Structure 1
Amino acid sequence: MSEKVSTPGSKPRIIRRLGPLGPSHHEKLVEFWELAVADTILQHPLLQVGIIGRDTKQPAWVQIDHIDLTKHIKWRVVDNPEKYEDTFKQTLKEQLDTKYDSPETQPSWRMVVFKLEAENLLEVVYVWSHSNSDGTGGKIFHETLLQSLNRVRDDKNDLVWENHLVKTIATAQNLPPPQDSVCNFTISPSFAVTLLWKEFRPQMFAPKLPPHKLRAPIHLTPTGTQSRRLCIDNATLQNVLAACRLHKTTLTGLLHGITLVSLVSLLKEEAPATIISETPLNLRRYVSSSPPGYPGLEPTKMIGNFVTKRDHDHDQVLVSKIRDLARGASSESEQIAALEDVMWSVSTTVREELQAKLDMGLKNEICGLMKVVGDYRDYFKEQMKKPRHATFLVTNLGVIDGGLPSETSSDKTQDWTIQRAYFSLAANLVGPNLTISPLAVKNGPLMIGVSWQNEAVDTNLGEGAVAGLKTWLNHIGSKQ
């Protein structure tokens, strides 16, 4: 079969016009993006340094002269909208489970920028090592990047950036301090003795935790991360927050309550056992601006590790009550009606426990005893020999201001905005089975990441937690 070939002078037959992201446009976008990232990392010294001695008792930060942004920023331009979500999910999984190349000579962070060819939207997967930053630091990174995107233009005079290379400015003088240098921890002798005995006692003296499906055994070999996400629109979120205020709790407390009843409801035939959940807490609130020895330090804008945690014990009596109530329901609506009061009770208790922890300030704070551990390699080796401590963790990053207009003010205030934000943790070998990671955008939606270690945790439990969060939040958010 032959087909007509266009000859010189004939009218060209247009197949389709180029999308808005043509080659020249893409090159300009990449350059602009790198300028904004350069402006961002130059504001945060811990994103400019390498680390040596990771496998020794005394690891250390080291200076790096230049950062090659092509080694830290990758682009994924997707031309088929139907493939976008699958491509994103696969890339996220790969990023969560991929180690950092050459940490001695390259900072341990990276990002993948997704672009749907026909859209003017970018979705950024920013990944970092916990050695460099906690979760709040990740949130601060995005807030800084948003500011840089709205400030940086083609003027490169005030940026040390050329041909993808960023000249670093991190020094021993401007590197953020370790938290024990600027946090005034006070430890009572009785607290120290109790905690150290609990951590370092011989296993023969440790209480025996009964086997439980929600307390997965520790797998020493990483088997990858399973990650899911769900989105709650702003109107539903506002109703949820109003319900939280009515019950004198917070979104963090609510997610503990929902996750507990959702997981226990899946175990109708299993004997009840105490379940422990955790909440990370940001210690920056206890660091003063420009503390002695660190002039110009602003804790609320500081990327680093300033985090502690609070455990929540849900005892066997409570777990048994939830299980029995779930057993007696024959439908989802009956189960919600049966469990709603106890769910709110758990939520309120968690909020009260968190407030009590915050009210204590830095008194008897576990982080104040971190220096006692001489070699963290040995410490974590010992942790791997113990039963897994917690079943789930709910992170506590709150809200990020992405510049979105409110319902009463529809005018766009800036060129770049954050429409939604999503936080996901890589599977933790010795940490909680499940991590629940909510993050909302001001005037935008709430997104929740749920992740767990593949093979170590039953996929049905992870999927059940996601389904429970979606069902309960929509149920609560449907009420005015």
Structure 2
Amino acid sequence: MANELHNETKTMALRKFGIIEMYQLATYLLDQYRGTILSCRYAIPLRLTPAESRTRLEQAVEIAVVEMIMRHPMLQVGIKDATNKIPSWVQLPSVDLTQHIKWLHIGGTADFEQTVQETFRSQLDERFPDISIEQPGWKFTMIRQENAPIMEVLLTWNHPQFDGAGARVLHEDFLEMLNNAENGICERTGLDGSILTLPQAPPLLPIPIETLQKLPLDFKFFAKAFWEDIRPQFLNRDVSQAFWCPIRSSPYKTQFRSFFIDIESLLAILALCRKNKTTITGLLNGLALIAFSLRLESTAAPAFQSSTIMDHRRHVPPAPPDAPWVRSDRAVTNYVTQLPHKYDTNLVARIRSKLPADANKEMDLSTDLQRELWAVSAQSRLEIARKLEAGLRNDLIGIFKHVKDWHQIMRDLANKPRRFTWLVTNVGVLDGKKSNDDQKWSIERAQFGVSADIPAAAIAFSPISVAGRGMCVSADWTDCAVDVKFGERIMGDLKRWLTQLANQS
């Protein structure tokens, strides 16, 4: 009887899905979005590097994962009634670590970097096991080359579980727990073989943002959003929408590209950003505007819209006293929305007037173009700052609160013109605990990637940096909607111009 009661408690709904979780789940179930990955390259303590230390290494990783599961309850839960209008999170009786920790050991002659990138790309498009069986939607993949002092750790997850900022927290906590495990601080509590028994008491989950804060909407903002949603297409005169890139849903395949910028170049670019009153996010919006203006004809795209992903953790109240994650900014959940930007026909025409006639040629940024770049980048940063100051007033999540059927909304959205040409989702700076101590774990670099988001922006840019190290800029797009060579030219432009800016300072 006690065991039956225990199991019943374990499968009781902990809380209903929040608005952002509902949106993310609908895109997953409709196969409009699949996976997200934050990958970090860990420096391994020298004592765990030799092949004969493999068992100790794997044990240290296992202990750290267990401790992280216990700190962050969103790693303990599955989804109940996933296809209902309002699903629920339920705590699971246990977690089978063999389903969530995968090892890929490669020989000493294999191409480590190639293996990492191929694994990264393939996992972006993988679907998680049938979520109706209530398995947590996340996994770690450890890529280890024989006797090498580094290990790539891919955290792949289903977006309803948490967002990119939450994944950054998980990697930072994982690093802390690896060092703690090595110091003998962590113990494998509740672990029997590969099965981790979860606590009997239901965990405290992070509370959805709409429950924590009011979402005030001014009438003008609400009316405009409502009209844009219901207006017939023949009344749509907004030339900034991405009509050049119609939404296509199949065959589903993500194209992913990335490049790295070393710390010296990054510091030079950051100095230019400060001088011109902007940030890396603002700069990427400015560079993307010039790149798309160069690569697209004015008849196809006379103006543009983009979107910046906003993390609202700063706008939520302090964490409850009994929250195992301690601080609200360390909550592993979904607390992000987006901020739209518009670039009108006059601005785009002015930029195009300063571009070369042949768009197929590689070009550097002229002095005139750099003036335009910094003006646009500063404006983007100003819009972001104003949004942060306004908090959740007139935020899209306030509109989402009125959605009754997310599946129908997302189906309808896929049949409308695409709104955004590009999107910037900046996970920020990851604390890799840079150290000269070769007996400690640390993170040397990171790479962030999102799978194709069918109705969203044509191309999504995802920068991330590690404190004291460099930065990775990645991009993804839907293979059936954006030509591969076009996407590669856009990424080539960004890489070339960032290199130019770093070298001229």
Give the TM-score taking structure 2 as reference length. 0.84
SS of 1:199's partner is helix
What amino acid maps onto 2:319 in structure 1? S
Superposed, 1:255-334 pairs within 5 Å as 255-267=284-296, 270-290=299-319, 298-328=327-357, 332=362
CA contact (8 A) 2:313 2:329 kept: yes
CA contact (8 A) 1:277 1:312 kept: yes
Superposed, 1:16-415 pairs within 5 Å as 21-22=50-51, 25-103=53-131, 104-153=133-182, 157=187, 159-169=189-199, 174-207=204-237, 209=239, 215-267=244-296, 270-290=299-319, 298-328=327-357, 332=362, 335-405=365-435, 411-412=436-437, 415=440
CA contact (8 A) 1:452 1:462 kept: yes
1:41-98 deviation per Cα after TM superposition (whole angstroms, max 9, x unaligned): 2111111111122222121112211111111111111214552222222211211001
How many angstroms does 1:355 deviate by? 0.9
> Take 1:332 and 1:354, find their aligned partners in 2: how far apart are those partners?
31
1:183-215 deviation per Cα after TM superposition (whole angstroms, max 9, x unaligned): 2322233332332232244445444658967x4
How many angstroms does 1:284 deviate by? 0.6
> Take 1:246 and 1:437, find their aligned partners in 2: how far apart are those partners?
23
How many angstroms does 1:256 deviate by? 0.8
Q: Which moved more, 1:257-266 or 1:387-396?
A: 257-266
How many angstroms does 1:462 deviate by? 1.4
Is the alpha carbon distance of 1:197 and 1:116 closer, same or farther for their aligned partners in structure 2, counting shifts above 3 Å? Answer: same
Is the alpha carbon distance of 1:271 and 1:453 closer, same or farther for their aligned partners in structure 2, counting shifts above 3 Å? Answer: closer
2:33 corresponds to which residue? none
How many angstroms does 1:25 deviate by? 2.6
1:472 corresponds to which residue? 497
Is the alpha carbon distance of 1:458 and 1:295 closer, same or farther for their aligned partners in structure 2, counting shifts above 3 Å? Answer: closer
> Take 1:293 and 1:360, find their aligned partners in 2: how far apart are those partners?
29
CA contact (8 A) 1:268 1:323 kept: no
What amino acid maps onto 1:324 in structure 2? S
> Take 2:172 and 2:109, find their aligned partners in 1: how far apart are those partners?
28
401, 404, 419: which is aligned to 2:444? 419
> Take 1:324 and 1:33, find their aligned partners in 2: how far apart are those partners?
55
SS of 1:217's partner is coil
CA contact (8 A) 1:48 1:170 kept: no
SS of 2:338's partner is strand
SS of 1:438's partner is strand
1:268-312 deviation per Cα after TM superposition (whole angstroms, max 9, x unaligned): 575542111110111110112136997986211100010111111
What amino acid maps onto 1:455 in structure 2? C
What amino acid maps onto 1:415 in structure 2? K
CA contact (8 A) 2:80 2:89 kept: yes
1:232-285 deviation per Cα after TM superposition (whole angstroms, max 9, x unaligned): 010110110000011111111001111111222123575542111110111110
Give the TM-score taking structure 1 as reference length. 0.88
> Take 1:107 and 1:47, find their aligned partners in 2: how far apart are those partners?
6
CA contact (8 A) 1:289 1:296 kept: no
Which consecutive unaligned segments of at least 5 residues does structure 1 have? 1-18, 406-410
CA contact (8 A) 1:34 1:164 kept: no
CA contact (8 A) 1:150 1:414 kept: no
1:445 corresponds to which residue? 470
Larger RCO (alpha carbons 8 Å, 6+ apart): 2
Q: Radius of gyration: which is bigger? A: 1
CA contact (8 A) 2:293 2:348 kept: yes
CA contact (8 A) 2:166 2:334 kept: yes
CA RMSD of aligned residues (A): 2.6
> Take 2:128 and 2:463, find their aligned partners in 1: how far apart are those partners?
25
SS of 1:41's partner is helix
How many angstroms does 1:374 deviate by? 0.7
Identity of aligned residues (%): 31
CA contact (8 A) 2:71 2:325 kept: no
How many angstroms does 1:387 deviate by? 0.6
What amino acid maps onto 1:391 in structure 2? T
Paired residues in the alignment total 455
CA contact (8 A) 1:50 1:61 kept: yes
